Amino acid sequence: MYKIIRSKSPLRIGLAGGGTDVSPYSDIYGGAILNVTINLYAYTSIEPTMDGKITLISADRNEMASFSSAEKLPIDGKLDLAKGIYNRIVKDYVKKPLSFTLTTYVDAPAGSGLGTSSSLVVSILSAFADWLNIPLGEYELAQLAYEIERNDLKMAGGKQDQYAAAFGGVNFMEFFGEGKVIVNPLRIKTEYLAELNNNIILYYTGTSRLSSKIIERQQDNVQDKNVKSLEAMHKLKEQAVMMKEAMLRGQMDKIGEILNFGWEYKKQMAKEISNEVIDNIYESALQSGASGGKISGAGGGGFMFFYCPGTSRYNVIKRLSELGGEFRRYQFVTEGAISWKF
């Protein structure tokens, strides 16, 4: 018997199309996203036990909960992601209580805009699937993660994060009605990716936010047929295609311009996406040499990133360091969720 089952899944940077993967927009109009995974991860370890207990530990958040083994754990606001996944695994696959200790750790704070929650769900599911020999391919893994978050746990959000975590790499994703998703891996030349990695700086504003509130406002705007918000989402879908073409052709000088185009429209999707602090950071980056950027994820706080052509990254880093945030070193990665036993 294996002593421990481990897994990890990458976080992501959403380069273009953010928000068009959220229902009901994606169901009605279809969405498009371009994202890339980075070497920040959600980690999971499962240690099977024989003591008739379930222990859940979130090491990065200093949270722990322990239960007697049962077929269903209470969803009560504490470690609900892990409990929701366990409940679904038992209900759909093993049909009996399990006994184990589950420990998780994420390399970025919750609410930081890098897809942490969904990557964590994919990571936990991947570990359970390895332990229990549940055959889940990338699409099945991502879809199950989506169903647990959005349907079982009623968490507002889109679809891109689960697929990014499961597949890894640079992907152009298309979203259609009835929940259909197509992931198109992009074959970007090594030198193009190296230039992109060099020129995009990742900046943590020092604040997190509850993305569900912003996403709910976006959903309301679609349902209410808010013309300004809908037009912004249409433009962001166009932005994803523009970004794909620029990256495939190596037109790196256009990346910042395309990011800036998207940022101007993203702010129109919901008024909570930006604020005075974020606007100040953005303008400071442009004045220091960045050609464009955006907030990562739904908005309101968390990480921002900027495209800095030439050698302007050093001036941008120097200026933004004075505003109280911090830079995070990263590299693009091509591998999605992986699991192993030991």
pLDDT at 341 over 90: yes
Residue owning tokens 């200026």: 319
Q: Tell me: the pLDDT tens digits for 216-255?
A: 767 777 777 778 889 999 999 999 999 999 999 999 999 9
Residue 215 has pLDDT above 80, yes or no: no
Q: Which residues make beta-bridge pairs with 57?
A: 64, 103
Q: Is the pLDDT of residue 43 over 80?
A: yes
User: What's at 202, amino acid-wise?
Assistant: L
Q: What is the pLDDT of residue 209?
A: 55
Rounded mean pLDDT, 6-31: 95
> What tens digit of pLDDT does each residue of 95-139 get?
999 999 999 999 998 888 899 999 999 999 999 999 999 999 999
Pairing status of strand 100-106 against strand 5-16: unpaired
Phi, psi of 202 (to 5 degrees): -110, 125
The secondary structure of 108-124, three-state, reads CCCCCCCCHHHHHHHHH
Active-site hit among 161, 224, 253, 279 = 161
The letter for the amino acid at 109 is P
Percent of the chain having pLDDT more than 70? 96
Q: For the chain, first and last CA: distance in Å?
A: 9
Please say if 130 is a catalytic residue: no
pLDDT digits (tens, 9 = 90+) for 245-298: 999 999 999 999 999 999 999 888 877 788 888 999 999 999 999 999 999 876
Which helix (H) or strand (E) segment holds residue 263: the answer is helix 255-266
CA–CA gap between residue 95 and residue 280 (Å, rounded): 53
**Residues 17 and 237 sit within 8 Å (Cβ to Cβ):** yes
* Model confidence at 212: pLDDT above 70: no
Nearest to 216 by CA among 136, 299, 287: 299
The interaxial angle of helices 255-266 and 227-249, nearest 10 deg, is: 170
Beta bridge partners of 9: 42
Beta strands in the chain (DSSP E): 5-16, 31-48, 53-58, 63-68, 100-106, 170-175, 181-185, 200-204, 292-295, 303-307, 326-327, 338-341
Q: How many CB atoms lie within 10 A of CB 206?
A: 13
> Listing from the earlier edge strand, what are the strands of the sheet with 326-327?
292-295, 303-307, 200-204, 326-327
Distances in Å between the Cα of 156 and the Cα atoms of 80, 96, 220, 324 are: 14, 29, 12, 30
Q: Domains of the chain by range and CATH?
A: 5-187 (3.30.230.10), 190-327 (3.30.70.890)
- 294: phi then psi, degrees, rounded to nearest 5: -170, 170
Peptide bond before residue 48 is cis, with ω within 30 degrees of 0 = no
The pLDDT confidence band at residue 48, using thresholds 50, 70 and 90, is very high
Mean pLDDT, residues 56-62: 97
3-state helix, strand, coil in the chain (%, to 5): 45, 25, 35
The answer to whether 236 and 262 have CB atoms below 8 angstroms apart is yes
